[in-house]
Structure 1
């Protein structure tokens, strides 16, 4: 079966360090992660963002909803982590490219942020979930762009 990934990019008028901050600083991460709640309880993302460290998406009551681990890390360039819905009993096999991958490349003070999420083909109704995720990333990426461009720290 053909692999199914969300594959999106956005150009950001900020350094890769500022984009990285928008991705990993808890204040900013919680803002973009909230788009994944689909109108339900708000998520927060808890992680130290070190290679191998847990990445926990928690509800307002601190219950872990999605969990994973950082599987690739190159400061200001690459961040990949796995994502598993803890409410699902099924855990598909994971390859090195699976999960959510952020690739950042900076040139002339602008950063291209490329996001890859999947592989959805290992899930039942994978195409549906890929399409839903792509729709959410369509809201998340502009939010990350806005936070990075307006971060004056």
Structure 2
């Protein structure tokens, strides 16, 4: 039996959920806490929005939004074309949950479960650092709006 490889973290943000949401879906802000390809569209991301990265080996890494409930929940699926397993929606994903806390927003982030894919530990390890850096930047941006 494989161990679940899911990164879980959270941060309390001194901003309304609508501001946190804006930082999560507006490419102008997303580019400050995550990578986006050059010339990515300026419109806010919604269900079906994709980011496709061409990898040096000719494969692709693809993220696509499978769920977007404004001010509450965002799910961004992750898939690599070299992966032997094609995950179902939400199986290997970035989950962002926003919880209202009296004029503040608790942002919960879960990234994974990488146990279902080959080299899952590598993705899990990289996601630990990504989660810590991105949540701090999301907090800073939302509090500055």
* TM-score range for the pair, normalised by the shorter chain length: 0.7 to 0.9
Q: Which residue of 2 aligns with 1:29?
A: 30
Alignment partner of 1:112 out of 91, 94, 106: 106
**Offset at 1:3?**
1.9
Q: CA deviation at 1:66?
A: 3.1
Q: Distance in 2 between matches of 1:54 and 1:95?
A: 14
Tell me the TM-score normalised to structure 1 length: 0.77
Matched, 1:49 2:45: yes
Q: For structure 2, which runs of at least 5 residues remain unmatched after alignment?
A: none
Give the Å deviation of 1:129: 1.9
Q: Alignment length, in residue pairs? A: 138
SS in 1 for 2:34: helix
How far did residue 93 of structure 1 move? 2.5
TM-score (norm: length of structure 2): 0.81
The structural deviation recorded for 1:142 is 0.4
Q: Cα gap change, 1:27/1:95 in structure 2, threshold over 3 Å: closer, same or farther? A: closer
> Which residues of structure 1 form unaligned runs of 5+?
35-41
